[in-house]
Amino acid sequence: MKKQIHIVSTPIGNYDDITLRALKILKEADIVACEEYKQARRILSHYEIKKELISLNEHNEEESAREIISLINEGKKVAQISDCGAPLFSDPGHILVDQCLAAGIEVIPVPGANSLIPALMGSNLDFEKFYHYGWLSPKKDLRRKELLDLKKKCELIVLMETPYRLKAILADIKKLFGQHQKIVLAYKLTMPEEKFYRGTVSDILKIAEDKSLKGEFVLLVDNR
């Protein structure tokens, strides 16, 4: 039997976005490595899949990776998922993949839902080339320094943040890039409340404040 691990993408909001291949692999797996048990059980239960779970997150990845490799060497079929979307993409899994490859275990990515591509697709911006920065620092001073560095790039910049820092990052961009900076806020992608807010950072900050927006989002800063 081949020694391999499948890195499986799962929906970011709409459970209908799972792929047939992902379902097949999850059903055939002996063990599913996941970030949080509660979220993993919720999504697997939706597809009527019941599996043994092993936790793999930013706090225990090195230790869990060794355990997973041992299970694979025993002949177990293992699939890794994150809480949502594509594992390793701003999520744990890099240490696991590194250790698996070092141990001669084949790593098989299973593509599927992610937040980046739909955000770009619905933005109405030219995204043939873009700069994906990802997550900013949660610390205000470091975040502002990162934004000042990003301001020097004449690029379409893609940022991600936690829901409760939306207004803070919009305020920082308004202060550092200027109130007329063009942005697109891709809000609650694939969910019933999905919405694209397009305009200046001043306008969208006002909307975020007036509507008390608080949800998963991708932020596109058109700094070209």
The stretch 28-41 carries a mean pLDDT of: 97
- Of 47, 14, 11, give the one whose Cα is nearest residue 192: 14
105/128 same-domain check: no
Domain count, the chain: 2
Q: What is the pLDDT of residue 52?
A: 97
pLDDT digits (tens, 9 = 90+) for 65-112: 999 999 999 999 999 999 999 999 888 899 999 999 999 999 999 999
- Of 196, 200, 163, give the one whose Cα is nearest residue 182: 200
For residue 55, give both structure tokens.
């936790």
165/122 same-domain check: yes
Which letter, b or e, does each residue of 184-196 get, where b requires 16 or more Cβ atoms within 10 Å of its Cβ?
Answer: bbbbbbbeeeebe
Burial class (CB in 10 A: 0-12, 13-18, 19+), 82: buried
Residue 80: phi, psi to the nearest 5?
Answer: -110, 135
Q: How confident is the model at residue 58 (pLDDT cuts 50, 70, 90)?
A: confident
Burial class (CB in 10 A: 0-12, 13-18, 19+), 29: buried
pLDDT digits (tens, 9 = 90+) for 110-147: 999 999 999 999 999 999 999 999 999 999 999 999 99
Q: What is the pLDDT of residue 90?
A: 82
In terms of residue numbers, what domain contains 194? 116-222
Q: What is the pLDDT of residue 31?
A: 98
Cα–Cα distance list, 109 to 52, 93, 97 (Å)? 21, 12, 10
Q: Which residue has the tokens 């620092």?
A: 137
Residue 34: phi, psi to the nearest 5?
Answer: -145, 165
Q: Are 174 and 206 in contact (CB under 8 A)?
A: no
83/132 same-domain check: no
- CATH number for the domain spanning 140: value is 3.30.950.10
104/185 same-domain check: no
> Hey, CA dihedral for 104, 21, 45, 194, is it positive or negative?
positive
83/141 same-domain check: no
- CATH number for the domain spanning 36: value is 3.40.1010.10
Q: How confident is the model at residue 1 (pLDDT cuts 50, 70, 90)?
A: confident
Q: Are 78 and 66 in contact (CB under 8 A)?
A: no
95/147 same-domain check: no
pTM score of the predicted model: 0.90
Q: What is the pLDDT of residue 159?
A: 97
CA distance 63 to 147: 34
CA distance 27 to 20: 11
Domain boundary among 95, 110, 125: 110
pLDDT digits (tens, 9 = 90+) for 166-217: 999 999 999 999 999 999 999 999 999 999 999 999 999 999 999 999 999 9
